[in-house]
Amino acid sequence: MRRHLLAPARSLAADPQSVLTVVERLGLLQFDPLEVPGARNHDLVLHARVGGYRREWTDQWLYGAERRLIELYNKSLNLVPLAELPWYRLTWDRNRPQYEEGILNEQAAVAEAILARIESEGAHSTASFAEHGHAIDWWWAPTRAARAVMEALFVSGRLGIARREGNRRHYDLIERLVPDEVLAARRPVEEQMRHRLLSRYRATGLTTPTAQAEVMYSAGSAAERRTMTAKLVEQGVLAEVALDGVRGPYYVLAEELPMLELPDRIAQPTVAFIAPLDPLAWDRRLLRDLWHFDYLWEVYVPQAKRRWGYYVLPVLFGDRLVGRIEPRIDRRQKALRIIGLSWQEGFSPRAEDGFVDAFDQALSAYSAFVGAEHVEWQASQP
């Protein structure tokens, strides 16, 4: 928990610089547009670590005059340091032939019109190209041609996200968003794959090359990951560790080994609500083996099959995952509704020293963060 900047929670200074501190530690933040609990996933990750966090601080580094972060596909759509682009452009290079021979060729007139208008006028969203609204087959379902083409130009490195209005993307030419020297830099493919795998160890802080897709997607095959991991150990970048009672081996960043020498208790445990795509929660198997906590983000699970709820956040108390909470924001009423709350078997919140006060502080901080003026509990909640 100390390594994840969660012991104590919300302890980083209320300052935009703290966003970069978190990204430097974790390497990346995962983007997801859903705001059901009142904030997007990466904002939840940052709120749990940064006191008084405000979402415009991240937007400042993503879209402001001094860009330090960029949205790129790695494990998924991630926020990564702009300076690390040369190690992440492998996705662009691999996507470009596929899309240039496919949709960008088939919809060449649409692509040329979009690029010409953006070049002459600056950033535009898909809403600016209503004349190209005919439907075409795309990733998951038929989609308007303008949107599909702009997404293809984005994932192949021709366009970048200049800003967002809500979740509406406004695209601009990538050369306007990235400094020339960064855009021109190239790294060997092997080095990029090494960096991509290392990004998963940086994010989780503790994992294995055989971890499931939630951790390792697009980081090479299992055999490739084992080979690269062995090289990283040999180079002194990773260190192998054993976990009592858990099959391994597992690996940590070698430079973080001194953290294992710190006291093994947290003096004043705090409570934090953990985002479903927080790097702490990526490795579901490790959650079960190490924390004895079973968790699945159930937004894509049919309602009848859900165990805990639609958008449920794990409840962290000190170094234990003790329960699950489902907050839901009603912006019109400025109300934070708690529609689900449950505890791990054997955990009694009122009997746990310091928990009620810590939970109250976490709930107050969360309410302020999402702009709620009061909290409402469902009648069925104890």
pLDDT digit string, tens, across residues 356-369: 999 999 999 999 99
Domain count of the chain? 3
User: How far apart are alpha carbons 21 and 206 in whole angstroms?
Assistant: 19
Of 243, 261, 279, at which residue does a domain stop? Answer: 261
Domain CATH number, residue 168: 1.10.10
Domain annotation covers residue 11: no
- Pairwise CA distance, residues 379 & 382, whole Å: 8
- Residue 301, in any domain of the structure: yes
Last residue of a domain, one of 181, 205, 230: 181
Tokens 């810590």, residue located? 358
Identify the pLDDT of residue 4. 97
* Structural domain harbouring 138: 94-181
Q: How far apart are the first and last CA of the chain?
A: 29
pLDDT exceeds 70 at position 262: yes
Considering only CA atoms, which of 361, 364, 374 is closest in space to residue 329?
374
**Which among 375, 284, 364 has a CA at the least distance from the CA of 47?**
364
- For the chain, how many residues are written? 382
Peptide bond into 279 cis (omega under 30): no
Write the CA distances from 73 to 79, 151, 155, 200, integer angstroms.
9, 12, 7, 13
CB distance 48 to 275 below 8 Å: yes
**175 shares a domain with 64:** no
The predicted pLDDT at position 380 comes to: 65
What is the H or E stretch that residue 285 is in? helix 284-291
Task: Grade residue 379 by pLDDT with cuts at 50, 70 and 90.
Answer: low
Token look-up 């990204």 returns: 23
Cα distances (angstroms) measured from residue 191 to each of 24, 27, 194 = 19, 16, 5
Q: Do the beta carbons of residue 141 and residue 135 sit within 8 Å?
A: no
Question: Which residues are CB-contacts of 287 (< 8 A; sequence separation ≥ 6)?
Answer: 281, 293, 294, 295, 321
Closest CA to 115 of 127, 103, 101, 129: 129
Whether residue 150 has pLDDT greater than 80: yes
Q: Are residue 363 and residue 286 in the same domain, yes or no?
A: yes
Q: Read off the pLDDT of residues 306-331 as tens digits, 9 standing for 90 and up.
A: 999 999 999 999 999 999 999 999 99
Quick one: pLDDT band at residue 381, thresholds 50, 70, 90? Answer: low
Residue 5 inside a domain? The answer is no
What percent of the chain lies above the pLDDT cut of 90?
Answer: 92
Same domain membership, residue 240 and residue 99: no
241-268 mean pLDDT: 90
Is there a single domain that holds both residue 173 and residue 109? yes
For the entire predicted model, the pTM comes to 0.95
Residues 368 and 276 placed together within one structural domain of the fold: yes
If asked whether residues 105 and 215 sit together in one domain, one would say no
Tokens of 371: 């702009």
Cα(176)–Cα(115) distance, integer angstroms: 13
pLDDT category of residue 166 using cuts at 50, 70 and 90: confident
Find the farthest-apart pair of alpha carbons in the chain and give their distance in angstroms, rounded: 67
